[in-house]
Amino acid sequence: MEPAKNTDAILFHKSIFAKFNPDELGESFPQRLIKDYNGQTYWLSFNIHSFLNTQNNFPRWMNADFGYGADGMTGAVINPKEVNGKIIPSFERNRKMFFGIDGAFTKPATIPFPSWINIFRIPIPVLELKKNKITFRPYYF
């Protein structure tokens, strides 16, 4: 049996929430990359083939992905009702979990990609679990 391999990744997309509290969530794009948790998804990816016996026919390139993210946050612990004297909309804070599959760029080994390329996730379909409801997403970053 091969040693099990996994890859961790953090993906980011711009969220609508930073504009309501830029001091907390970032004003510029570089600040938002670090501060705006609404736009971040943390992924853990496992190579399925590595967990099976050596004689299996499961595709070497296929990974199982588990992701975690959140949205609706305009404050660190609670959402403020106002920022700098300005009333902001009320948002419900939500956790999101994801399950999907993606491909490992370095498998099969006949393709000459460097191993660091596997930190990138191919945006293929995922299932999202949010508020005990499962939603199909045709692609997700």
Its pTM stands at: 0.77
For residue 56, pLDDT over 90 is answered with no
Q: What is the average pLDDT score of the chain?
A: 84
pLDDT on residue 4: 43
The verdict on whether omega for the bond into residue 108 sits within 30 degrees of 0, i.e. cis, is yes
Q: What average pLDDT does range 26-48 have in this prediction?
A: 90
C-alpha of 12 from chain center: 7
Q: What average pLDDT does range 14-38 have in this prediction?
A: 93
Cβ contact 90:80 at 8 Å: no
pLDDT on residue 2: 43
For residue 7, pLDDT over 70 is answered with no
For residue 118, pLDDT over 70 is answered with no
pLDDT on residue 121: 66
Among 18-22, 89-93, 137-141, the least confident range? 137-141
d(CA 126, CA 141): 10
Q: Look-up: residue for tokens 């496992």? A: 46
Q: What average pLDDT does range 73-79 have in this prediction?
A: 94
- HSE (CB half, 13 Å, CA atoms) of 126? 25
Q: What average pLDDT does range 10-36 have in this prediction?
A: 90
Among 15-24, 52-61, 71-80, the least confident range? 52-61
pLDDT on residue 1: 40
